[in-house]
A and B are shown apart, each in its own frame.
Chain A
Amino acid sequence: MKEEAMNEFGSQMTRKLGKKFDLRWDVDRKGVVCGWCKLDDPDDIYPVAEVVAGFKGRVMTISPLNTPSALADYALGDTPDDAPENAPAAEKTVKVVINYHFYFEGINLTACITLPDNQRTVKSITPVLISADWHEREMQELFNVKLQGHPNPKRLFLEKGIHMTDHTMIPLSEALNGASTNTLWEKIMRSNTKEANPDE
């Protein structure tokens, strides 16, 4: 049954895209099928979503990543202390790679797109697959990838006042809770010096 779905998916994709694309299947020894599909044009993700919707499939998750990662230098051995604070981060070409993980007919399929330099907009697939909704909105907030045609692109996690820049991942604890805790802490410290021990 899985084999049929795999072939059917391949032929539907060829029909929809009308060109060559990179698709490879791997089957592990327990029979779990994982497909890996590389798309040349980021807009091709929409027809892929349509094919998956045709199978009554769903989006399992979306994994965006910056490559090279903003932390790539650290990983190679530099300590964070070595990193100059005014490093021209903007000059580095950082590409956004987005992996869409779909599930249909018992098959796991990962479709991968790479956004061209300086483009951080992607076509939303939520209109065809509603299960993509939260994943896309999370990507929009945490990776500053704008969604084209999302029915409800409201913020899901981040506070409205936070402005995103490219290639940033914001630790939300710092951005939200940390801020309120700080305010609270400062208030406590102030009261401590003034009124805590009125006898002294």
Chain B
Amino acid sequence: MSSYSMPVGPIHVVLEEPIYFKLQVEGETVVGVEINAGHSHRGIEFLAMQRNFYQNLTLTERVCSLCSNNHPFTYCMAIEKLAGIEIPERAEYLRAIADEIKRISSHLFNIGILPHIIGFDSLFMHAMELRETMQDLKESVFGNRMNLSVNTIGGVRYDISNEQEKYILTTLNNLKKPLEELTKIIKSNASIRRRTEGVGVLSEDKAVEYGVVGPVARGSGIAYDVRVDNPYAAYDKITVNAVTEKNGDAFSRLLVRLGEVAESIRLIEQLLEKMPDGPTSLDAMPDIPAGEAIAKSEAPRGELIYYARTNGTSIPERIKWRVPTYPNWGALSVMMPGSKIADIPVIVGSVDPCISCTER
């Protein structure tokens, strides 16, 4: 059978963001894939080298919307490490709480998108309704639905009162039952399983080879979670379980995300319980000396790393970050071959790609 090349994108039916796949197909079956990115590059890394350390807090928060909290979070940790700043203990807890709240929202979004791709729109709305409760929670506690802007160099810029703590716990508690229902539907629904099981398989060996991170790695059986393996903020003071699945298909990745939502609820409960009283940030803006450091965090999509190098001025010499989606793209060349054209959106959606992150 002769092979054709077929373009998918850059404007894509399921993704809100542009990326171009050049597929080689034989009949209905994909045999090869080539990816071309760069359609929405904004040069943010370059901009970060023209702004001072505090301006960059605002800038990095705008790299991506779904994991917007992780960018300034990790950026602050890199700068703090470099300058030898130890932040107050309460701030470490508050940072982790904000991050877990963002993770639940982000995961629920992707959990909803997958049924939407396969045409199960009522479940999509069900998941989005759950996510909406988290959006309300963010708006009530932080004042914003997406960009929380809670991080600053030397601590956080928000605090949780006893009332707010109660509100958060009640909201999370109310989320548990519908989440169980959602998990039950996803695990038992024949259409979802038919469209996701055995689709876009990434074996453990290949996952190691391509260096994938986040739910994509954990769906292939790699128990790597930055919160466990390279703890930061308050994650060394609580127990974090890395959720893993074995099959490495789109269904496994969906289950990992579902499991992580439940895990995040548990983590927030632990964090709120153990959080000590005290200050939430340093009193003064610290000077940043010359040096270099790296910092990592577990964003909803996986490991996020920041590298910072400074020269003693108020402007960084180099800020480089690698987002979790970045290494995951390469693995699509393993997941896609052998699948049908109709499975492409499911596979791409199961990676939960973030193109604005990738292109920065």
Chain A residues close to B by CB (< 8 Å): 28-32, 34, 36, 56, 58-61, 63, 65, 67, 69, 71, 74-76, 99, 101, 103, 106, 108, 110, 129-131, 133-135, 156-159, 169, 171-174, 176-177
Q: Which residue of B lies closest to A80 (CB)?
A: B50
- Please, which residues of chain A bring their CB within 8 A of the CB of B208? 56, 58
Task: Tell me the complex Cα distance, A99–B292, Å.
Answer: 11
Please determine whether A59 and B211 come into contact, CB atoms closer than 8 angstroms.
Answer: yes
Please determine whether B329 and A30 come into contact, CB atoms closer than 8 angstroms.
Answer: no
- B289 close to chain A: CB less than 8 A: no
Please determine whether A63 and B38 come into contact, CB atoms closer than 8 angstroms.
Answer: no
- B320 close to chain A: CB less than 8 A: yes
The distance from the CB of A160 to the nearest CB of chain B, in whole angstroms, is 10
- B17 close to chain A: CB less than 8 A: no
Given contacts A61-B322, A169-B46, A172-B41, contact A108 B230 (CB under 8 A): yes
Q: Which residue of A lies closest to B326 (CB)?
A: A134
- B209 close to chain A: CB less than 8 A: yes
Given contacts A31-B231, A101-B307, A131-B209, contact A110 B41 (CB under 8 A): no
The distance from the CB of B5 to the nearest CB of chain A, in whole angstroms, is 15
Q: Which residue of B lies closest to A77 (CB)?
A: B313
- Please, which residues of chain A bring their CB within 8 A of the CB of B269? none
The distance from the CB of B213 to the nearest CB of chain A, in whole angstroms, is 9
The distance from the CB of B23 to the nearest CB of chain A, in whole angstroms, is 16
- B303 close to chain A: CB less than 8 A: yes
Partner of A61, one of B232, B305, B309: B305
Task: Tell me the complex Cα distance, A176–B315, Å.
Answer: 28
The distance from the CB of A50 to the nearest CB of chain B, in whole angstroms, is 15
Partner of A156, one of B36, B43, B327: B36
Please determine whether A75 and B305 come into contact, CB atoms closer than 8 angstroms.
Answer: no
- B42 close to chain A: CB less than 8 A: yes
- B330 close to chain A: CB less than 8 A: yes
Please determine whether B318 and A65 come into contact, CB atoms closer than 8 angstroms.
Answer: yes
Please determine whether B330 and A172 come into contact, CB atoms closer than 8 angstroms.
Answer: no
- B275 close to chain A: CB less than 8 A: no
22 CB contacts below 8 A, A to B, read A30-B236, A32-B232, A34-B293, A56-B208, A61-B305, A61-B322, A65-B320, A69-B318, A71-B50, A101-B307, A110-B294, A130-B209, A130-B330, A131-B330, A134-B329, A134-B330, A156-B38, A157-B41, A172-B43, A173-B40, A174-B43, A176-B41
Please determine whether B307 and A172 come into contact, CB atoms closer than 8 angstroms.
Answer: no
- Please, which residues of chain A bring their CB within 8 A of the CB of B315? 75
Contacting residues of chain B (279-302) with chain A, CB-CB under 8 angstroms: 292-294, 296
Task: Tell me the complex Cα distance, A30–B40, Å.
Answer: 37
- Please, which residues of chain A bring their CB within 8 A of the CB of B236? 30-31
By size class, the interface of chain B is: 35 or more
Q: Which residue of A lies closest to B230 (CB)?
A: A32
Task: Tell me the complex Cα distance, A154–B50, Å.
Answer: 30
Please determine whether B36 and A173 come into contact, CB atoms closer than 8 angstroms.
Answer: no
Please determine whether A131 and B313 come into contact, CB atoms closer than 8 angstroms.
Answer: no
Task: Tell me the complex Cα distance, A63–B81, Å.
Answer: 18
- Please, which residues of chain A bring their CB within 8 A of the CB of B49? 69, 71
- B317 close to chain A: CB less than 8 A: yes
Please determine whether B41 and A173 come into contact, CB atoms closer than 8 angstroms.
Answer: yes
Question: Can you add 8 more A-B contacts, CB < 8 Å, to A61-B320, A101-B322, A131-B209?
Answer: A32-B231, A60-B305, A63-B307, A63-B318, A69-B317, A134-B327, A135-B326, A177-B39
Task: Tell me the complex Cα distance, A69–B211, Å.
Answer: 30
Please determine whether B41 and A30 come into contact, CB atoms closer than 8 angstroms.
Answer: no
Q: Which residue of A lies closest to B46 (CB)?
A: A169
- Please, which residues of chain B bring their CB within 8 A of the CB of A63? 307, 318, 320
Task: Tell me the complex Cα distance, A127–B43, Å.
Answer: 29
Given contacts A58-B211, A173-B41, contact A108 B294 (CB under 8 A): yes
Given contacts A61-B320, A75-B313, A101-B294, contact A131 B210 (CB under 8 A): yes
Please determine whether B326 and A177 come into contact, CB atoms closer than 8 angstroms.
Answer: no
- Please, which residues of chain B bring their CB within 8 A of the CB of A103? 211
Q: Which residue of B lies closest to A69 (CB)?
A: B317
Which 8 pairs between the two chains have the least Cβ-Cβ distance?
Answer: A131-B211, A157-B38, A58-B211, A172-B41, A61-B322, A171-B43, A63-B320, A65-B318
- Please, which residues of chain B bring their CB within 8 A of the CB of A99? 292, 307, 320
- B229 close to chain A: CB less than 8 A: yes
- B238 close to chain A: CB less than 8 A: no
Given contacts A32-B230, A56-B208, A108-B230, contact A176 B320 (CB under 8 A): no
- Please, which residues of chain A bring their CB within 8 A of the CB of B296? 32, 60, 108
- Please, which residues of chain A bring their CB within 8 A of the CB of B185? none
The distance from the CB of B321 to the nearest CB of chain A, in whole angstroms, is 8
- B359 close to chain A: CB less than 8 A: yes
Task: Tell me the complex Cα distance, A103–B229, Å.
Answer: 11
Q: Which residue of A lies closest to B233 (CB)?
A: A30
Partner of B322, one of A36, A60, A110: A60
Contacting residues of chain B (296-355) with chain A, CB-CB under 8 angstroms: 296, 303, 305, 307, 309, 311, 313, 315, 317-318, 320-322, 326-327, 329-330
